[in-house]
Structure 1
Amino acid sequence: MPGTSLASRIDASVLRAIAPKLSAFKARRQAEIIASFAPLLPQLFEQFAVTTAVRIAHLLAQLGHESDGFSTTEEYASGAAYEGRADLGNTRKGDGVRFKGRGPIQLTGRDNYRNFTAWLRAFIPDCPDFEQQPHLVALFPWAAWAAFFFWATKGLNKLADRDDLVAVTKVVNGGRNGLADRAKYLAKAKQLVAVIVGDRIATEQDFVVLRRGHESDLVVELQRALAAAGHYLLTIDGNFGPGTEAAVKTFQRSRGLTVDGIVGRNTAKALEPFQSKD
């Protein structure tokens, strides 16, 4: 529907499209997690301003990797490796296992469970005490809230706005662990979100919108206009791939337009002076 927000369109079908195909056992768990998680996402995206294409794509990428393709909300390891980690607040015997990683972005350590409780009570005053009942962080809706607790309190929207996968990953995981896999999730998420954005713009503007994945003579005209506008190193092949998308974003940024890599009415109008008259 026209006017519907981007966040409201991120549903179970999007998560299923991002998620990899898994073995039968994992696939059952994946289906359960997606069915529980997806209905909660639109509200949480809106509440924590994860509402732009790049923010949504980065969060989906991290969720996909950290949850092993949406197939678990609990760390596979026992948590014993965290025993005695004072930096995580694990100062009592058994804290490592008790406060192992849980949630789609794994919450780890007694301090984080305590902080999550305090944070969430600002929104849901009667939520459980997760320090006392840590196993609940692996269950929905708390698992979803835990992911957004981490994302919001770590200021990851700002890093996502820079499209900086390395920086986001460092905050989530402490380094570059799984960076290649996260990059694959990010590319897939960006493509899916671009389709949603493009379809929405086309519906709202009653206009032929060009976006990544399109192949046509209109894309040829677009690529020629981009080359004329900024001498972008583009192959004129009629295929709206990542290179064309990057060129569109650069052009949009230089003209003060919304930088989404999608050629809607405003971007098309700005490109008109560079179009061939032949």
Structure 2
Amino acid sequence: MIPVDSNFIFAVAPRFSGNKKAAQERIIGAISSIFSTTLDRYAINTRLRIAHFMGQVTHECAGFCTAEEFASGAAYEGRQDLGNTQPGDGKRYKGRGLIQLTGRANYRDIGRILGLPLENQPELAAEPVTALKIACEYWKKRNINTAADRDDLISVTRLINGGLNGLEERRSYLIKAKSELARIEGLIVAANEGGNSTVLHRGSFGAGVVELQELLVKKGFALSIDGDFGAATELAIMAFQKANGLEVDGIVGKNTWNKLHT
């Protein structure tokens, strides 16, 4: 399980001031201690799965500023497809959750799964911990891990949104999440391998990356030597690790360095 907590969330999410800052801190603070374990329970526990989850959720909940849609919900009034059969159901069952749950029928179904009275007390869906679980249930129901495993941002976004609204913002959060996860995993590798060698990962930059790329080119990989650890360098490292019986994580720690210098 990759340890992700409030520091990880804040590294991905935009920063705010005033009321938005207070709301963001309240939501992130409430889910921080259970974030890793909750994601792991839903098998959102690899670098790609966590990164795509963060890319989507950070957009959907406005940077963790809200677990409730800004609109009144009146647009959902009378929506039979959502189970809104009673007067006032549109506003009563407006979108809530880190990925928004909408409509009486959906509140009833997710409430049954989570063991919570969401149909009778729909406001509970906006509580941060419940909002996180709602997002995970949605992710599970749509089998979004499969698209995340392919690193398929377009398919993941369509499964979340039904279209491609906010695609570029989702992409930017995805990139930030990947970079931060690589940094976290790099620290773990350094600790496990004694911490005596420079650990490089996607997002690293500088002379160490130049040395790495030069070694990879000597091993037969077609790379630009530009000092920027991007997607091509990560793919080359993963191929090298696989060919040499190393853990295939795209992170260059002591064991990978040793093999590269052999």
Q: Is the contact between residue 205 and residue 229 of structure 2 (CA under 8 Å) also seen in structure 1?
A: yes
User: Is 1:86 aligned to 2:80, yes or no?
Assistant: yes
- Provide the secondary structure at the position in 1 that maps to 2:128: coil
Report matched runs for 1:1-278 at 5 Å: 5-6=1-2, 9-121=3-115, 128-206=116-194, 208=197, 209-232=199-222, 234-252=223-241, 258-265=247-254, 267-268=256-257, 271-272=260-261
Once the two structures are TM-superposed, the CA of residue 31 in structure 1 deviates from its matched residue by 0.9
Q: Is the contact between residue 59 and residue 170 of structure 2 (CA under 8 Å) also seen in structure 1?
A: yes
After superposition, the CA RMSD in angstroms is 2.2
Once the two structures are TM-superposed, the CA of residue 56 in structure 1 deviates from its matched residue by 1.0
Q: Is the contact between residue 84 and residue 92 of structure 1 (CA under 8 Å) also seen in structure 2?
A: yes
Q: Is the contact between residue 79 and residue 97 of structure 1 (CA under 8 Å) also seen in structure 2?
A: yes
> What are the Cα deviations for residues 16-71 of structure 1, in whole angstroms up to 9, with x where unaligned?
12121224111111111111121221220221121111111111111110110010
Q: What percentage of residue pairs aligned between the two structures are identical?
A: 47
Cα distance in 2, alignment partners of residues 259 and 102 from structure 1: 38
Q: Which moved more, 1:112-121 or 1:261-270?
A: 261-270
- Provide the secondary structure at the position in 1 that maps to 2:55: helix
Q: Which moved more, 1:87-96 or 1:23-32?
A: 87-96
Change (3 A) 1:258 1:113: farther
Q: Is the contact between residue 19 and residue 70 of structure 1 (CA under 8 Å) also seen in structure 2?
A: yes
Amino acid at match of 1:160: A
Cα distance in 1, alignment partners of residues 248 and 156 from structure 2: 20
- Provide the secondary structure at the position in 2 that maps to 1:176: coil
Counterpart in the other structure of 1:125? none
Cα distance in 2, alignment partners of residues 253 and 93 from structure 1: 60
Once the two structures are TM-superposed, the CA of residue 74 in structure 1 deviates from its matched residue by 0.2
Cα distance in 2, alignment partners of residues 166 and 253 from structure 1: 28
Change (3 A) 1:30 1:221: same
Structure 1: state its 5+ residue gaps.
Answer: 122-127, 274-278
Once the two structures are TM-superposed, the CA of residue 255 in structure 1 deviates from its matched residue by 6.6
> What are the Cα deviations for residues 200-233 of structure 1, in whole angstroms up to 9, with x where unaligned?
011111252321243454422321233344542x
Change (3 A) 1:255 1:117: farther
Structure 2: state its 5+ residue gaps.
Answer: none
Q: TM-score w.r.t. structure 1 length?
A: 0.84
Cα distance in 1, alignment partners of residues 114 and 213 from structure 2: 48
- Provide the secondary structure at the position in 2 that maps to 1:152: helix
Q: Which moved more, 1:147-156 or 1:204-213?
A: 204-213
Q: Is the contact between residue 193 and residue 255 of structure 2 (CA under 8 Å) also seen in structure 1?
A: no
Change (3 A) 1:238 1:140: closer
Cα distance in 2, alignment partners of residues 258 and 105 from structure 1: 34
Amino acid at match of 2:107: Y
- Provide the secondary structure at the position in 2 that maps to 1:141: helix
Once the two structures are TM-superposed, the CA of residue 97 in structure 1 deviates from its matched residue by 1.5
Q: TM-score w.r.t. structure 2 length?
A: 0.89
> What are the Cα deviations for residues 60-110 of structure 1, in whole angstroms up to 9, with x where unaligned?
111110110010000011112222333322233322221111011111122
Change (3 A) 1:230 1:129: farther
